[in-house]
Structure 1
């Protein structure tokens, strides 16, 4: 059987170490599907139910493994559906390759069915974006796409017309003098140098040695540098603040961390940013500058991308390099602090904060407190469990009540903060790590968007555990409306609460519906111990507010104004707030 051009694409992916493609077939990629079929012993195709989920799975695969994620969609609407997941990859700087189909070259520009210029549509999301017009382009273009995705930590896109997909792999009908061809050696990617020059390391050491009240802000780029972060924190007597994507950088019970920052962060982290004179940003381009120091502080930033170094606040010393290698090199040059008074102050604040958070994890509260639900998951999950999370109020509960210990990890849509990635993230990561416990902590809104992907987990026998924080509303928007001073509108679904457990059970998975506090832990334990996919749907209190670590006067004022303007559930919300305060003060 003659080799078709799509096989050249598939073989080049295999050369690059790609072992999985997430996607959904269509008539615009039938040739590519045939190429995958012919090489199914070396490259697995994971059939999904929605192209958006395929892009999320590829993104999660890249985040969790460090290797390029690959997704596939047909021409027109199929390619359009990829975009949300691809923007998630773009904004969180992870390498993903999107492959799409296109109408036959003879039809382009004629308004044929489903004709969408996907190369133009993807121009903003993709670092590399190319439509194939000749079969012999394919190997070299695939190399360029993957190399660019790795080098620029972003999205690459290749779109291939139908007739090119099934053409002879070596066909060059125009008889070019020097047709594009793939290198004869194995595919390689030369990583950028990870260690800054010696003089830059010395400058960073001098900068840190001069600081008195120092904090470290650690992001996703430092997830692989835990030991180095803790060693530098010890030498400097510096608390470590973590961005949400960087939550797993150091354990949550470490004496060196004050936890998260921003609306989902802690009061000690907010206070710390007001007091420091020196800030070291490591592997983060944290966008919410209102939560960074508002007074003049000296700032250094270790950043892999020169374009992002110094992009957020005035930065005296931008250092381009890998977080782990840079911290390891600077550590011997740091002067050990003779006083740890500054660090001890924030250790005491964190002890108080942890007590307040623990007080909200009340097993007796009815309706069920979402803080208790997340704490139950944290208590029962394995020490190497991976939690994926959607955006919304659930991100607050996960940020504060999912405890990083051991080799636990945590993934969510960081900068895009889109709804619905939690379930496909879990599937993509479970596929990459079949022996790890993977838990999707999702809201009812996000789950409903891509719930058919739970069928993907069932059909591929992936033992993903899904826990739905079901408040029957768009909870984050509810509170955002009130913080603006307006009564909530259009954010709650009518009762009854949906029963997603019945959907799981009907399709052969373990499903459990939880409506009483005493049912939470038994249901979670049963799901975690189940050998296959499991789903626990928990009705939680929709009146539980995701309050920021430090409530500002203007926020409180507008919150009260929403009550005065006729907030429809003010009595229930006020009761919940009162219970929260009583429990926190009681701790």
Structure 2
């Protein structure tokens, strides 16, 4: 049997430690599929139902494991479908390799069927991007693509024409031209230095030691540095704000934790931003500058892995380049213990009040079901090692405030892209990567409907994911954004009847239960989490529960009131819900 170029591709992936490829076949990648078949003992091809999901899964694999995620799609429309998931990887700085097919080289440029030049389409999303048109170049460019994905923390793309895929592996169509030198048997990737320069560490220590009211803002880049973040917070007496992608950096019940900032944040964290005189940003390039200190209010130190991103959000006195864990370990001996702990104690007390307010909204007797209570049921029943994946929308608010990080719990969502629909494919990929952990997808009805076929993917691959659908039969986040802008809602509620996704779960061979009565919710969630296969709970929640900011501004309140006066069609229900929320908090 002649060894083909596609085998060289797969063997090179194996050499880099790739054990899974997420994708969907097509006639544009039949040669690559044959390469995968011939090496099926070394690499698993995880067949999905939509290419967008394959790209999300590759991104999730990279986020959860730190290793390269790989997705595969056919030429033309298959490759186009990958794009949304690839932008998720790009914007959240995850190493992903996308492999796509292309028509035979002899017909390129003739307007052939499905002739989409994916290398041109992918120019904006990639760090490395190449049409492979010579078998001799393949081993070397695979290495370069993977190095680029790792080093630049982003997407690399190789598109390979059909005739190149099935050409003899040793083919050299251009005699007389020296081929690229064969790569090393064991691939080499040199990690960038992890410890900042000594002069930067010393400058950072001087600024941090001088602060009277310090704050730490920790992001996804510090997820592997929990002990070091807590140690620095303790020495400085600094409360720790967590970005949403960095929610699992430290436990939520830590005396240093004050939650997040932004629309999904907490009131104590917003007040800390307004009050702090020193801000230490660790592993984050938080994009929402209106939620950061005003220029000149606070001295800023930032520990960032990428020199391009350091200091781009606000005036930064000391930008340090390095790994969060290694950088903090090197900084710690230079820090002076804070003698006055009153600043820290003030925000610890504020968080006690905030947690009590949030607990009051988790009322089990509210009808329709309060989404806060749904999340609370999941939070209480899930294991201390559970991974929660989440979609974008109001569900991200409920997860941010009512999913408690404790033990080794994880939390993942689409950060900077904030796209709908990744929650389910994220869960599939993470369950595949961590078969012994409990993996729960907390999704809205809008996002779940987009890629719901991937529940069948989980069932077919024996992946026991748990899916909790927060079903408000609406595009809830957009509804409230319209109101904050002062507009009456329009085009954001689906027609009745609301979907029953539990029927779909059962048809796939999984556990499925529809819940409308809050009295049945805890039992249903418990049964789903205990089920030995994929399971889904579809909970009908109150569509008029507002995801209120941690601290409401006058302008937000004014626009909200204007929307009511302009004829908000559900103003009575919304007003009732707001009244019940306030009564619940007053009665705690």
The bucket for the TM-score relative to the shorter chain is over 0.9
Whether the 8 Å contact between 2:57 and 2:429 is mirrored in structure 1 is yes
Whether the 8 Å contact between 2:473 and 2:543 is mirrored in structure 1 is yes
Q: Which moved more, 1:502-511 or 1:389-398?
A: 502-511
Q: How does 1:175-324 map to 2 (within 5 A)?
A: 175-296=175-296, 297-324=298-325
Whether the 8 Å contact between 2:295 and 2:314 is mirrored in structure 1 is no
Deviations 1:237-290 (A, max 9, x none): 100000000000000010001111110000000000001111000000000000
SS in 2 for 1:249: coil
Query: Residue 295 of structure 1: CA displacement?
Result: 4.6
Q: How does 1:342-357 map to 2 (within 5 A)?
A: 342-357=343-358
Whether the 8 Å contact between 1:361 and 1:369 is mirrored in structure 2 is yes
Q: Which moved more, 1:196-205 or 1:131-140?
A: 196-205
Query: Residue 197 of structure 1: CA displacement?
Result: 2.1
Deviations 1:505-533 (A, max 9, x none): 12211101111001111011001111100
Match of 2:546 in 1: 545
Query: Residue 136 of structure 1: CA displacement?
Result: 1.1
Query: Residue 586 of structure 1: CA displacement?
Result: 2.0
Moved over 3 A (4+): none
Match of 1:30 in 2: 30
Mapped partners of 2:176, 2:254: distance in 1: 63
Match of 1:463 in 2: 464
Whether the 8 Å contact between 1:136 and 1:181 is mirrored in structure 2 is no
The TM-score, its normalising length taken from structure 2, stands at 0.99
Match of 1:472 in 2: 473
Deviations 1:414-433 (A, max 9, x none): 00000000000000110000
Mapped partners of 1:90, 1:512: distance in 2: 36
Deviations 1:135-179 (A, max 9, x none): 011110100000000000000000000000000011011114320
Mapped partners of 1:214, 1:567: distance in 2: 43
Whether the 8 Å contact between 2:455 and 2:508 is mirrored in structure 1 is no
Q: How does 1:86-485 map to 2 (within 5 A)?
A: 86-296=86-296, 297-485=298-486
Match of 1:578 in 2: 579
Q: How does 1:6-85 map to 2 (within 5 A)?
A: 6-85=6-85
Query: Residue 198 of structure 1: CA displacement?
Result: 2.0
Whether the 8 Å contact between 1:139 and 1:181 is mirrored in structure 2 is no
The TM-score, its normalising length taken from structure 1, stands at 0.99
Mapped partners of 1:245, 1:251: distance in 2: 14
Match of 2:562 in 1: 561
Whether the 8 Å contact between 1:239 and 1:346 is mirrored in structure 2 is yes
Mapped partners of 2:487, 2:177: distance in 1: 68
Query: Residue 496 of structure 1: CA displacement?
Result: 1.4
Query: Residue 182 of structure 1: CA displacement?
Result: 2.8
Show structure 1 runs of 5+ residues with no match. Answer: none
Whether the 8 Å contact between 2:391 and 2:422 is mirrored in structure 1 is yes
Query: Residue 181 of structure 1: CA displacement?
Result: 3.6
Whether the 8 Å contact between 2:140 and 2:182 is mirrored in structure 1 is yes
Query: Residue 30 of structure 1: CA displacement?
Result: 0.3
Mapped partners of 1:538, 1:219: distance in 2: 31
Mapped partners of 1:496, 1:120: distance in 2: 43
Whether the 8 Å contact between 1:481 and 1:487 is mirrored in structure 2 is yes
Query: Residue 184 of structure 1: CA displacement?
Result: 3.1
Mapped partners of 2:182, 2:430: distance in 1: 31
